Amino acid sequence: MHFRRWWGAAAMLAVAVVGYVPVASAADEKQVEQYLQAFYESALWHDGRNAVWVRKWAQPLRVRFSGLTAEKHRTIVLDRLAEMTQIAGLEYSVVPSGEGEMNFLVEFVDTAGLTANGRAAGCVAHTYSGPGNVYAYAHLVLNLRMGHELNHCITHELFHALGFPGHPHAVDSVLSYVYRRADMTDADRMSLAVLYDPRISAGAFQLPAMAAARDVIVDKLIARGEPVAETRDLGRKFVRNLAPLTTSLADKGDVALQYQLGIAYTFGQTVEADPVTGLAWLRRAAAAAEPRWRTMAMQAQAMVGHAYMIGRGTARDAAAAVPWYRQAADQGHLMSQQMLGVAYRDGVGVGRDPVEAYKWLSIAAQHKDREAATYLASLTPALSAAEIEEGRRRAMAWKPAE
Ligand SMILES: [Zn+2]
């Protein structure tokens, strides 16, 4: 304990010393901050309104064109895609209709009636994530009505579809509403390289993603020939300032950020581990009542249950964990259904009840949850035919709570 405190003080001292010595020029620092800002606004925010976590492709893009495609449009799309996938280290191919599965549909339309999120839109990119926040499918709708802005539209939507749902305002980017560029900017190219660096994991939250982004940017600059010793520490202040910024946004009611802070403090991601503070943020997210935060609140309820179950940020208390698991399980949270099933099976935090165990484990197993299926298989021999029948009946009657 004392050793850890001493170590913390030594680390703070090191930071202070770095602060005093003018190792890098203000211009370099500014450059790194611009790259960080571009990545933050484009990859980790959706429309500047919703905090998101990292999403990216992990498989080759299999592109299909449809609609009113002329050769020249197809060429622009493929030229852009060639450049983007090269930076990202992704492969792509064109899959004509009837010649195998595609996962990246590029559709040209000519309409005055295109909308996105209830607003009139020039062009639209829809993306669909599979498990682990990895993209499974994208659908781009490119509108010929955009006329001379069609090139901008194509680059802009392709960039969205590769993992950038945001529209930066403070940075010159093809995603910006302010600059209507036809091509990626230097900051965009860096963002793309950062997102697809293996250090940035799909599903990463903002704070750890930004800490990793800083490392990647610094390494890229050093690889470009920037001086190692001076460049190594650039952008640290920007990343440090994100924790208080995130806290103030969470405090104003952003439930996704409340949840992210809950996880960050509980497990010491980017911030110093502080499970009590972590649990306080998770409880706050778990209590969110607005429909748009429903999924987030459900995940937070499961994590509060987990904190009680393992005794993190609070005393270990299985009986306190079960109602949290049940609240999330009732809404369809898979892991909570499994935890609840196991609690009933073993009589942990709740009276032993093999029929309820059977019910929850079969509901979880229906979602192709292999672990739940294994538990279910091990439970079944201990049950009578009538108990299994009753467990099945309850599982069939179950519907997610509204
Ligand atoms: Zn857009």
Residue 12 vs residue 317, higher pLDDT = 317
Q: How far is the CA of 314 from the centre of ligand 1 (A)?
A: 43
CA distances from 242 to 83, 164, 165, 205, 358 (A): 31, 19, 20, 12, 45
Q: How far is the CA of 25 from the centre of ligand 1 (A)?
A: 34
Q: How confident is the model at residue 258, as a pLDDT?
A: 95
Q: How far is the CA of 394 from the centre of ligand 1 (A)?
A: 46
Q: Are 94 and 64 in contact (CB under 8 A)?
A: yes
Give CATH 3.40.390.10 domain extents, the chain.
57-162
Q: Which residues pair with 66 in a beta bridge?
A: 107
Q: How far is the CA of 154 from the centre of ligand 1 (A)?
A: 10
Q: How far is the CA of 292 from the centre of ligand 1 (A)?
A: 21
Q: How far is the CA of 338 from the centre of ligand 1 (A)?
A: 39
Confidence at 59, pLDDT banded by 50, 70, 90: very high
Q: How far is the CA of 64 from the centre of ligand 1 (A)?
A: 21
Q: Which residues pair with 63 in a beta bridge?
A: 94, 104
Q: How far is the CA of 311 from the centre of ligand 1 (A)?
A: 44
From 54, 48, 352, 56, select the one nearest 206 (Cα to Cα).
54
Q: How far is the CA of 32 from the centre of ligand 1 (A)?
A: 24
Residue 337 vs residue 11, higher pLDDT = 337
Which uninterrupted H or E stretch holds 336?
helix 334-346
Any idea which architecture 57-162 has in CATH?
3-Layer(aba) Sandwich (3.40)
Residue 130 exposure: Cα atoms within 13 Å on the Cβ side: 9
Q: How far is the CA of 85 from the centre of ligand 1 (A)?
A: 19
Q: How far is the CA of 176 from the centre of ligand 1 (A)?
A: 8
Q: Is a pLDDT exceeding 80 seen at residue 161?
A: yes
**Which region among 57-66, 261-270, 279-288 has the lowest average model confidence (pLDDT)?**
261-270
Q: Report residue 177 as tokens.
A: 């509403």
Q: How far is the CA of 186 from the centre of ligand 1 (A)?
A: 18
From 136, 132, 107, 111, select the one nearest 121 (Cα to Cα).
111
Q: How far is the CA of 123 from the centre of ligand 1 (A)?
A: 8
Q: Are 123 and 113 in contact (CB under 8 A)?
A: no
Q: How far is the CA of 157 from the centre of ligand 1 (A)?
A: 6
Is the model's pTM score more than 0.85? Answer: no
Q: Is a pLDDT exceeding 70 seen at residue 352?
A: yes
CA distances from 277 to 208, 221, 245, 272, 335 (A): 18, 36, 16, 11, 23
Residue 16 vs residue 45, higher pLDDT = 45
Spell out the residues 6+ positions from residue 334 whose beta carbon is closer than 8 angstroms to its own.
364, 367, 369, 372
Q: How far is the CA of 55 from the centre of ligand 1 (A)?
A: 16
Q: How far is the CA of 43 from the centre of ligand 1 (A)?
A: 12
Instruction: Output the average pLDDT for the chain.
Output: 89
Q: Is a pLDDT exceeding 50 seen at residue 110?
A: yes
What phi and psi, each to the nearest 5 degrees, are found at residue 108? -100, 135
Q: Is a pLDDT exceeding 70 seen at residue 12?
A: no
Q: How far is the CA of 60 from the centre of ligand 1 (A)?
A: 23
Q: How far is the CA of 333 from the centre of ligand 1 (A)?
A: 31
Give CATH 1.25.40.10 domain extents, the chain.
255-397
Q: Report residue 289 as tokens.
A: 């009542």
Confidence at 50, pLDDT banded by 50, 70, 90: confident
Q: How far is the CA of 164 from the centre of ligand 1 (A)?
A: 9
Q: How far is the CA of 167 from the centre of ligand 1 (A)?
A: 6
Mean pLDDT of 3-14: 37
Any idea which architecture 255-397 has in CATH?
Alpha Horseshoe (1.25)
Q: How confident is the model at residue 24, as a pLDDT?
A: 58
Residue 98 vs residue 288, higher pLDDT = 288
